[in-house]
Amino acid sequence: MSRTLEHKLFVKNIFALSVANALKMLFGALVMIVFARMLGAQDFGKISFAISFVSLFAILADFGINSYAVVGVSSGEHSASHLANSVFSLKLVLSICIFCAMYLVLHFLDYPWQVRCITYLFGLSVLIDSFADFICSLFRGVERMKYETWISFAQNAVLFIAVAVALKAGLSLVHVSVVWLISRLIGLLFSIRLFGALFSHIKFQIDFAVWKNILKSSYVFGLYLLFAGLYNKINIIFLSKTKGNAEVGFYQAAVNILILAVFLLDNFLAAILPFIARRFSENQGGFSVMVHSFNKVLFACIFPIVSFIYFFAEQIIFFCYGRQMSPAVILLRFLCVAYMLQYAPPSGIVFLAIKKERICLFVALCCAVFNVCANAIFIPLYGAKAAAFVFAGTFLLMRLSYAFAYKSFKLDFLDFSYFLILIVSLLLGFSLQLIGVHHILFNFFLYFVFYGIIFWFVIMKKEERRFYSGILRNLLLVERDSDNYEKQSMR
């Protein structure tokens, strides 16, 4: 593939992933906002606990197989069809085992019947999702992200419509959970059908030798995702047991705002993983320069986002949820610091892409131990505020660990422009607060228009502007050439 076409495909993949995740995050955020508005903090806390609890077990069902599939297919080690046939039967066995473990743990924790029933149904939904996510990872591996967009739209449009109708009809939480499960099953069937039409029909093949090889190759990914999932979800479980469902509802309401705000960054990270993996495997020059630029763009995106949310947290919470969720305002401000540290340079995704997963695993393990111990000590005393502070401390430890790893690999990520980005973001936030405009959408427009102009013409260098201008031009012209390549590569 020529460098020009490679660049165009990369831009197209980022755009496709952006659309896919935008649909997912938009529909997901709308569902959660409707939940919070119509159910209140107490019942919304039950839903939030169920999703967080089952998400930890879903990581075990995945066990790093999805991440392994992206790198394995993109590097040419496996074909998409071969992995699909081998992994689907393996994931089915893992899912059955994980659901049994989920049942035992939840029964041991002695939650009320309604909470357990909701959690079981969401558990089945998340396990079904893991199959659809695996198919999406195969499309990422062959860098055909537009099909993930189709799957995302089908899954989330059905989910949003079904849940909205169920809530409008006044169904109970258990019945709404059943509707959620059915909608996810419809999404999985669509993804299987799409994969079969483009590659080959998925067959359940039991091959213990292949299973052993896949698990041996992916267990590092799996353990990394498990430890990373602990400090994203364990705080919800601690809050539920020690402070009640209302506290969980306030905390999760704040988290949902930030999840929606950073979805573009998640798209960028997901799209660049196979690109970095291929570049490193082909030993192409400029790897260190690419890593430096990647981290700079990461900081240029995350800091203005969290700064805006911090300055206008009250307006955002009232706009999305109403005044009934006012306790979430202070939590949202605390969590802005945590999310800034979560996405700030240096990024660990570089080590995942170049198959240095053990570095990420060790860092995630240390952070998980710190997070679980700190949450166990401070959440019973100080509640959701402690959960937010511990979350921030966890990612501060992670950033320091990756800074040491970058130094060991002689990778540079620091840049004077970080300081300029910080100053511009804070000045814009203070200025808009002094002006006193109370409409959140107008503040959003002013903040990011002025930031974009200053960043483009003042902070960015001339060669960087030329590079990103080329990306924008290619985004408009990418379809014809990349589609021709796509048709050739899928024959």
Mean pLDDT over 88-101 rounds to 82
Nearest-CA neighbor of 61 among 146, 123, 127, 148? Answer: 127
**344 three-state secondary structure:** coil
Give the contacts of 94 (CB within 8 A, at least 6 positions apart). Answer: 60, 61, 63
Mean pLDDT over 350-358 rounds to 73
395-415 pLDDT, tens digit per residue, is 999 999 999 988 888 878 887
Nearest-CA neighbor of 306 among 354, 245, 252, 265? Answer: 265
> How far from 370 is each of 147, 307, 320, 394, 453, CA to CA, in Å?
39, 27, 33, 7, 41
Q: Angle at which helices 3-62 and 245-261 pack, to 10 degrees?
A: 170
3-state helix, strand, coil in the chain (%, to 5): 85, 0, 15
Look at residue 372 in the predicted model and tell me its pLDDT: 92
Rounded CA separation 327/480 (Å): 51
Question: How many CB atoms lie under 10 A from the CB of residue 382?
Answer: 14
**pLDDT for 335 beyond 90:** yes
**Rg of the chain, C-alpha, whole Å:** 22
Rounded CA separation 134/69 (Å): 8
DSSP state of 347: P
Q: Provide the percentage of residues in the chain whose pLDDT is more than 90.
A: 16
Mean pLDDT over 371-397 rounds to 93
**pLDDT for 248 beyond 50:** yes
Report H helices in 354-461: 357-382, 384-408, 417-435, 440-454
Look at residue 296 in the predicted model and tell me its pLDDT: 81
**313 three-state secondary structure:** helix
353 with 276: CB under 8 angstroms? yes
**pLDDT for 4 beyond 60:** no
Give the contacts of 270 (CB within 8 A, at least 6 positions apart). Answer: 17, 21, 140
379 with 235: CB under 8 angstroms? yes
Rounded CA separation 396/421 (Å): 19
Residue ranges of E strands in 52-94: none
> How far from 404 is each of 157, 288, 319, 356, 473, CA to CA, in Å?
43, 16, 41, 14, 38
Question: How many CB atoms lie under 10 A from the CB of residue 144?
Answer: 21
Query: Which amino acid, 371?
Result: N
- Each domain of the chain, given as residue ranges in start order, spans 3-483
Q: Provide the percentage of residues in the chain whose pLDDT is more than 70.
A: 76
Query: Which amino acid, 100?
Result: C
Average pLDDT, the chain: 78
Rounded CA separation 237/470 (Å): 47
436-454 pLDDT, tens digit per residue, is 777 888 888 999 999 989 8
Look at residue 8 in the predicted model and tell me its pLDDT: 58
Look at residue 485 in the predicted model and tell me its pLDDT: 41
Higher per-residue confidence, 91 vs 336: 336
Look at residue 483 in the predicted model and tell me its pLDDT: 47
Rounded CA separation 422/304 (Å): 8
The 3-class SS string of 193-250 reads HHHHHHCCCCCCCCCHHHHHHHHHHHHHHHHHHHHHHHHHHHHHHHHHHHCCHHHHHH
456-474 pLDDT, tens digit per residue, is 888 777 776 776 666 556 5
39 with 244: CB under 8 angstroms? no
Rounded CA separation 243/235 (Å): 11
Query: Which amino acid, 126?
Result: V
370 with 397: CB under 8 angstroms? yes
The CA-to-CA distance between both ends of the chain, in Å, stands at 16
Look at residue 491 in the predicted model and tell me its pLDDT: 43
Nearest-CA neighbor of 225 among 61, 390, 344? Answer: 61
